[in-house]
A and B are shown apart, each in its own frame.
Chain A
Amino acid sequence: MKRILIPVFLGVLFLTLQTTWLALPFIRWIRPDIVLVLTLYLGISSPPISGGVLVFFLGYLMDLFSGNGFGLYAFSRPFLFYCAQLLKDRIYLESFPSRSLFVFLFALAEGLTLLILLKALNPEHLPNLYPLFFTVFLPQSLSTALLSSVLFSLLKKGSSLLYAEPGTGIGGK
């Protein structure tokens, strides 16, 4: 139960931070997507079913608070989660640069996915959408990647403290 409730609470907290403090005008252009960082962290550390449901819930919450009528995040977040699940044993994620690169590539992948979906699902032509990728999305992906190293370390440390069971050592399952 603890393994479900704590990530849900963290997700809601991260979403609240993202819609309030991280949306302030001076930081708006480089606003890091901390919910994405949590999604990817869950992707490399959670079981596929409970983690997938949790990530879908977080994506659904994102959709609820955004002006998006298609449920794009409810689709893209579980998609990223399962991609991270597939890759977690194949890539080295213990160093700061590797984590940042991992998050950066996933943030870009999500941006491209959303862009394609927005173009495909909107019946009308959406002008000025592609420049947004470079002016807004690229700086944001970079800031998310930079912040992810710190957040990954904190989340890892937090989960090893919270989920440690007696007799199994630190972070034992």
Chain B
Amino acid sequence: MDGLLMEISSPFQKGSTSVINKIKGVWEGYLFLVHLHKENEQLKKRMADLQRENDQMREMVLSHERLRKLLQFRETLSSTVIAAEMVGRDPSSWFKSVTINKGEKDGVRKGMAVISSEGVIGQILKTAPSHSVVLLITDYNSAIDSIIQRTRAKAIVEGGGENRCQLKYLLRAEDVVPGDKVITSGLGGNFPKGLMIGEIRKVDKKGHGIFQYAELVPSVDFTRLEEVLVIKESPPPPAEEKVKKVKKAK
């Protein structure tokens, strides 16, 4: 009798337990999902925070690397330099200039040379107490006295607009080939001798006249410009030259 009763009631018990289990499962699953959702949100937030932190760290490393390079380059220079940061670009597309965060208060004056570890950037065009405008070497109004590193041929580097320059007054007789490096000559007083300006991309000897045409790619990528150095003072003449000058004076 007990067995029969058990046999009859147990399917109900089983059914009831199964319903309870199902409800429990759904409930737990639901609660779990809620927790999972919350946890997921928290993890996403944490991941975004870590990503941001990672980006900042990476930016710091890159900035550190750039500054270290600039500092190393600064140590190689005999002139006094002022480190500055680029804060803006030219508002128009006809002209090529950048604004830097150093001005007259820091000793920046019109005509001073602006360089980076990659090479020549330009010269100071306008000054304000704490900002200055730098005329880039790619601007049409820019001209720098230069020499071809390999042949020592003299020429003037003039701006040619979008990331290019041209060599003017380069004698046709001079041996110049694409790939030749062009450096500052030191004449003119603003730029010390030997600073990299760029590399010759194209040489054209067609046409008449005593000069040849050469196109130059600046060694500095002006689209990635961030930190620059303003050359405050030209290096003093070497000791030997000083002695000669004194002798001549006597």
Known: A25-B223, A127-B160, A132-B161. A66 touches B92 (CB 8 A): yes
Q: Does A15 contact B (CB under 8 A)?
A: yes
Known: A67-B141, A122-B140. A31 touches B93 (CB 8 A): yes
Chain A residue, CB-CB nearest to B213? A127
Chain B residues positioned under 8 Å from A19 (CB to CB): 88-91, 99
Assign chain A's interface to a size class. Answer: 20 to 34
Give Cα distance in the complex from A33 to B87, angstroms: 19
Please, what's the 1-or-0 string for B4-26, where 1 marks a CB less than 8 Å from any CB in chain A? 00000000000000000000000
Chain A residue, CB-CB nearest to B224? A25
Chain A residues positioned under 8 Å from B141 (CB to CB): 67, 69, 122
Q: Does A45 contact B (CB under 8 A)?
A: no
Q: Give the most central of B92, B126, B139, B166: most A CB within 10 Å.
A: B92
Q: Does A153 contact B (CB under 8 A)?
A: no
Contact B95 A68 (CB under 8 A): yes
Q: Does A146 contact B (CB under 8 A)?
A: no
Q: Total number of A-B contacts with CB less than 8 angstroms?
A: 76
Give Cα distance in the complex from A64 to B223, angstroms: 21
Known: A69-B141, A122-B140. A62 touches B92 (CB 8 A): yes
Give Cα distance in the complex from A35 to B160, angstroms: 26
Partner of B91, one of A35, A114, A128: A35
Please, what's the 1-or-0 string for B150-172, where 1 marks a CB less than 8 Å from any CB in chain A? 00000000001110101000000
Q: Does A18 contact B (CB under 8 A)?
A: yes
Chain A residue, CB-CB nearest to B92? A66
Contact B94 A23 (CB under 8 A): no
Contact B88 A67 (CB under 8 A): no
Partner of B140, one of A15, A16, A65, A126: A126
Known: A64-B126, A67-B136, A127-B160. A137 touches B99 (CB 8 A): no
Q: Does B125 contact A (CB under 8 A)?
A: yes
Contact A28 B223 (CB under 8 A): yes
Chain B residues positioned under 8 Å from A168 (CB to CB): none
Contact A67 B160 (CB under 8 A): no
Contact B90 A66 (CB under 8 A): yes
Please, what's the 1-or-0 string for A56-99, where 1 marks a CB less than 8 Å from any CB in chain B? 00000010111111000100000000000000000000000000
User: Distance (Å) between the CB of A135 and the closest chain B CB?
Assistant: 8
Q: Does A129 contact B (CB under 8 A)?
A: yes
Which chain A residues in 153-167 approach chain B with CB under 8 Å?
A: none
Q: Does A140 contact B (CB under 8 A)?
A: yes
Give Cα distance in the complex from A15 to B90, angstroms: 10
Minimum-distance CB pairs A-B, first 6: A67-B97, A67-B95, A23-B89, A19-B88, A25-B223, A67-B135
Instruction: Report 6 cross-chain contacts, Cβ distance below 8 Å, ordered by A residue.
Output: A16-B88, A19-B88, A20-B88, A68-B94, A127-B160, A132-B94
Binding site for A on B (CB under 8 A): 87-97, 99, 125-126, 133, 135-136, 139-141, 160-162, 164, 166, 223-224
Binding site for B on A (CB under 8 A): 15-16, 18-20, 23, 25, 28, 31, 33, 35, 62, 64-69, 73, 114, 118, 122, 126-129, 132, 135-137, 140
